[in-house]
Structure 1
Amino acid sequence: MSARRWARAVRWYLRELTGEAEYDRYCERYRRRHPLAPVPTRRDYEVLRTRHRETHPHSRCC
Structure 2
Amino acid sequence: MSAEATPGFRSLLARAWARVGRAAGFVLWYAREVSGENGYKHYLDAYVARHGCSHGAMSEREYWRDKTDRQDREPQARCC
The two structures share one fold, judged by TM-score above 0.5 = yes
The answer to which structure, 1 or 2, has the higher relative contact order (CA under 8 A, 6+ apart) is 1
SS in 1 for 2:32: helix
SS in 1 for 2:58: coil
TM-score (structure 1 length as normaliser)? 0.71
Percent identity of paired positions between Structure 1 and Structure 2? 32
Tell me, in whole angstroms, the C-alpha distance in 1 between the residues paired with 2:23 and 2:77: 35
Partner of 1:7 in structure 2?
24
TM-score (structure 2 length as normaliser)? 0.59
Q: Give the unaligned 5+ runs of structure 2.
A: 1-15
Partner of 2:41 in structure 1?
24
How many residue pairs align between the two structures?
60
Tell me, in whole angstroms, the C-alpha distance in 1 between the residues paired with 2:76 and 2:28: 29
Q: Give the unaligned 5+ runs of structure 1.
A: none
Partner of 2:65 in structure 1?
47
Task: Indicate the RMSD between aligned Cα atoms, in angstroms.
Answer: 2.1
Tell me, in whole angstroms, the C-alpha distance in 1 between the residues paired with 2:63 and 2:34: 17
C-alpha distance after superposition, 1:11-51 (max 9, x if no partner): 11232244221211111111122335422111000011012
